[in-house]
Every structure is written in C-alpha cells, then in structure tokens.
Structure 1
Amino acid sequence: MADTSSLPPSPRSERANAPLAFITGASSGIGQALACRYHQAGWRLALVVRRADELRAWVQAQGWPTERCQVYSADVAVPDSVIAAAHACLAQQGLPDLVIASAGISIGMDTAERGDLDVMARTFAVNNVGMAATFHAFIRLMRERGSGTLVGIASVAAIRGLPGHGAYCASKAGVVSYCESLRGELRGTGVRVLTVLPGFIDTALTRGNRYPMPFLMSAPDFADRAFRAIQAGRSYFVIPWQMGVVAKLLRMLPNSWFDRALQGRGRKAREGEHR
C-alpha cells in the first residue's frame, strides 16, 4: 500500500476537520450574517431555524456544500424542540466548537393591554429560555472535552429600559445576567461564555423602529466585528463601540434626567400595529 502520510489533506478531509459553529436564528438578520461570516472563514455550520426548507433553499442558492452546512428545524421557544435539533447536530456533525444563540424577537408592548402580557411571555420564551435550551445540550459534553465557546446575543437595550420596549429590554437584560452567571459556573472548565451586545443593526427587527437609531450599521459589518471579537475571546462587548459609550453615559444619568430625555420618544410598534 502506498504511503500517503506525506500527502496534503484532500479538500474533503479539510472540511471534515474544520471547526463547527451551531447558530440559531440563522434565517435572517444577525444570525444569517454570522453564518455567512463563519462560512467565509472556513467553518462548518449547523443552522437552526423554524422554516428549515426555506433556509435549505437559500443555502443551496449560495452554493454551500452539505458537508459544510446542515440545517435543522426547531422552534427556539419550545425547549425540547431546540434540544432535539442540538441532538441531531451531535449525531450528524459532532460536538460544536462554538454555539451562538442568536434567535430573538422584538415586539413593542403596553402593559395595560392584556394581549401584550402574552407578547412578553413569548419574548422571554425565545430570548431567554430558548437561549438556555440552546446551550443546554452541549454544556456537559463541552466540559468533558475541556473546550467550547457559548455566545449569547444580548443588546444595548439591556442597559436601560426604553418606553414601549419593556419586554425586549427586560429579556436582553436577562441575557446579560444569565450569561454572566453561566460564565462563572463554567470558569476553569475550558468552556468560555461570551456576551455580545449589538447596537442598532439594519435588520427586519429594526427597520420598523419609529425613533432615531444612532450608529446604525449593516448586518455584515456587525458580523465581521463580532467574528473578530469572538475569536479574541472577549467576554463582553458592544458593537459598535460608540453605542457602548452612549449606553454607559445613559446608565450614569440620574433617573429624573433619563426619564426627561426619553419623554415623547417614539415607542416600539406593538404586535399588529402599523409601523
């Protein structure tokens, strides 16, 4: 038998040995932009969405080979659904090196309206419980391996509550605290927990906003900056950095000044409300 040990690896074997990223919310916006950036960097992908057939068609249109990218169907708001997708990934592609919980929803609410309490419950189901369920299936195996990165996508909206945005702001504040707690729990195991706080990113979630959005940036630009920050292992970072400065200044404002500054600010559109 010929000695092939000195031959360069085939493209197929290189792909099989490439690191694996598991990304939820990959059908659009930030999640899809992150998927594109990681594919560009040569990673294998496990993408989780509700409408898997649509994303598979999109992936095929991009020319991404199936050995580089698999799509799994799951409703992140249902823990057992996203856990099943994680188990399918483990069976078909192996244990991810990176998990990004990017799935999220943003809907305005008015606490005086009974229906908006259901909006709040759904927001927490996706943005918070869904994130924990996304990480759940991988944590024990990553600890055993001694490596892995879990990334929670929060928002600068976590830093101060905005009028009409109670469900979203509260959920993203919860993401920050949850990831901080998880980071402490996994310290010393080799598993890193990172928190990303996007500012205003040009996606379907923000295009209907009825208020100014300073430092608005494109989703691909955000994804490139997030990729570099994640690779650097930064535990907490705001993108763009200018929004981090603004958020810190707002956090320092006395409540009376903050309330006055936001008086009359446009509210986030409620479900079914004209944007």
Structure 2
Amino acid sequence: MSTSLAYITGASSGLGQALALRYYQAGYRLALVARRTEAVTDWARSQGLDTNRLAVYGADVSVIDSIVQAGQQCLVDQGIPDVVIACAGFSTGVDIRYREDLDVMARTFATNNVGTAATFHPFIAAMVARGTGALVGVASVHGIRGMPGHGAYCPSKAGVISFCESLRGELKASGVKVVTIVPGYIDTPLTQGNTYSMPFLMPASQFADAAYNAIDRGSSYRVIPWQMGVVAKFLRVLPNWAFDKLFAGRPRKPRSPT
C-alpha cells in the first residue's frame, strides 16, 4: 500500500470526487477539501473508504485565507502531499448587460484563478525543499477560445492554463512538476445543465483514469478526452472570421438564478 498523499479540492462532487476515488484505488492517502464537508464524508462512507486513509478539510476556495488555512492544516495533520490537484471550479453563464453578472464574474475568477494559486501556495516551499511533487491545475477546453455566454468561465480557464504554464517555468529546476489537465465535456453535475451539444462526452470515471495516468507520467499538458485535444488544436488556429461564423448564435450557458 502506497504512503503517498493526494490533496484534492472540489471533492464533494464531479471531477474532484472522481479523482479522489481514483487516487484511493491507487493506494493513496487522501486530503479532501470542500465547502460541504458532510457531503464528502457521506460519499466516502457510501463507497466504503477506509477513514484512516483520508481527512476532510472544510474550505471555500474563493476565499484566500480559507483555502490557505486548509492547506496549512493538511501539512500539520498529514504531511507534504505528493500530488495537489486544484479541481474546485465555478461555472455559469453571464450576460454583462446585467450588473449582478459582474459579481458572478468576480466569483468565477476568485474561485477558478486566485483559488487555484491559493490552493498551491501552502505546499510550494515544502515541495521545492523536498525536490519532488506535482501541482495540478484543472482547466477546460473552454479556455482555448471565448464562447458566447461564457464571458466569465472561458477567460478564467484560459487563465488557469497560462498560470500553470508560468508556474511550470518557475519550478522547472526544482523537481516539482506542474501539470495542466484540460477536460473536454465530462458527465458531471456541472455539465448536466448545458443546453447545447457536448461532443465526445466522457464518464467522470474514465476522465479520472486518464488524468491519473497523465499526472503519474508527469505530462505538462493533457486534453481529455484526446478527441477534444484535436478539436482544441483546430480552434486555436481557426481564423476569427471563421470562428465567429461557426459559433455566433450558439445557445448560451444559462445565467445563475437571481
């Protein structure tokens, strides 16, 4: 049985929960972070997980001191993680004609961008001193180009990609790897409300397998599923006039209820 430790945010549902189960199955101890700690505890019990191999930390990733304190507590209680996965995310449609959607945009950036950096922060010095570890940012194919109705989510995930790229360069000589995981459409509560087509929709368990393998190999950047990687490369080089023609009028992601 491995003594390695995986620290995962967003563990109460979706991708974070699927990754938690995959790492547990691989023999890891778990440090699981969520706002709804009871949901994580209930899920772990329902899966028959050994509670001696996991700890649950309550934190709001969008609040810097909250998520930093969770990381610091993990260091005290469980030691330095081998893998830190910033998986907590927030996604909803926005229409900036509405004043309240500016607040939604601020919450999106606080969770997806500052929250990712704050998730990594408590562990970087310790990992560098040890000379090993992996910091994993979970982005999205929606970070490749800006989609209608995604005026907050798309730029936030583009920011995750760029942030991880910057950090990868900073830590290259340290022995600490920085991995960017770029999910396509994965069947989770986050995508189940989408009203538009989702090509290559993948079950969360299959995503977790592919992400685990990419992180274990130390891949710097991986789009999952691979078919969406082909789509992402195509979108990167598509001229603006063609991109606009292709996506103008596409159904928008619904706004948050007000």
CA distance in 1, matches of 2:43, 2:195: 30
The farther-off stretch of 44-53 and 57-66 is 57-66
CA distance in 1, matches of 2:45, 2:246: 48
- What is the TM-score with the length of structure 1 in the denominator? 0.92
- What is the TM-score with the length of structure 2 in the denominator? 0.98
AA aligned to 2:230 is V
Match of 1:7 in 2: none
CA distance in 2, matches of 1:157, 1:146: 33
Match of 1:270 in 2: 255
| Among 4, 8, 12, the residue aligned to 1:27 | 12
| Among 143, 149, 162, the residue aligned to 2:147 | 162
The farther-off stretch of 61-70 and 224-233 is 61-70
| Among 119, 122, 135, the residue aligned to 1:137 | 122
| Among 196, 201, 205, the residue aligned to 2:186 | 201
Higher Cα Rg, which structure: 1
Match of 1:235 in 2: 220
Cα RMSD after superposing both structures: 1.0
Secondary structure of the 2:106 match is helix
Offset at 1:39?
A: 0.5
Match of 1:147 in 2: 132
2:40 aligned with 1:49: no
- After superposing on structure 2, the runs of 4+ consecutive aligned residues of structure 1 that deviate more than 4 Å are none
Equivalent residues, number: 258
What whole-Å deviation, never above 9, does each CA across 1:118-143 have from its counterpart, x for those lacking one?
Answer: 00000000000000000000000111
AA aligned to 2:112 is N
What whole-Å deviation, never above 9, does each CA across 1:229-260 have from its counterpart, x for those lacking one?
Answer: 11111000100111011111122111011101
Match of 2:242 in 1: 257
CA distance in 2, matches of 1:237, 1:51: 29
What whole-Å deviation, never above 9, does each CA across 1:160-189 have from its counterpart, x for those lacking one?
Answer: 000000100000000000000000111110
AA aligned to 1:185 is E
Match of 1:87 in 2: 72
Identity of matched residues, %: 63
